[in-house]
Amino acid sequence: MFEDADIDSAIEGLIDAICFNQGQVCCAGSRLLVQESIETRFVTKLKKRMESLRVGDPLDKSVDIGAMTAPVQVERIRDLMKRGFAEGAVIYESDGQLPAKSYFLKPALVTNVSPANTLVAEEIFWLVLVAMSFRTPEEAV
């Protein structure tokens, strides 16, 4: 049985993996396979942790997430998110405000997806974490 401390520790590792270079690298941990028996608890705790992420000036040491580098990238991600949503994805973004200037997007958690969903199939260079559940290790593979 997974204890809450195990889940909390996994979430911190996951936040580090997806936030590495703001997800703008090929090795960002942007896919999550979570055991179905703990999915609800895990996703609830992950959303709570995402609420504490701060978006803003990347030179401010209290900020977790800075701006994107170009408006074309912001539009690409918004388009992918719209397509994934139209295909049935559930998209969670924390409440907080985004700075008015520059190219900011909120980090997102995507659930309720199949492997064929655009948000699973496409590599997204931003903080978009796609979560899928599994029942058995064989199913996960």
Between 42 and 99, name the one with better pLDDT.
Answer: 42
Average pLDDT value for the chain: 88
pLDDT digits 0-9 by tens, 15-33: 887 777 766 666 667 888 9
Domain extent listing, the chain: 4-140
Residue 8 has pLDDT above 70, yes or no: yes
pTM: 0.88
Q: Quickly state the pLDDT bin for 130 (edges 50, 70, 90).
A: very high
Q: Does the pLDDT at position 1 exceed 60?
A: no
The yes-or-no verdict on residue 125 having pLDDT over 60 is: yes
Please state, in angstroms and rounded to a whole number, the distance separating the CA atoms of residues 90 and 131: 10
Which range has the worst mean pLDDT, 25-29, 55-59, 105-109, 120-124?
25-29
Between CA 80 and CA 85 the distance in angstroms is: 9
Whole-number Cα distances in Å, 66 to 5, 62, 82, 131, 139? 29, 11, 22, 23, 36
Overall average pLDDT of the 49-63 stretch: 88
Residue 78 pLDDT > 70 = yes
Asked if the 4-140 domain carries CATH number 3.40.630.30, the reply is no
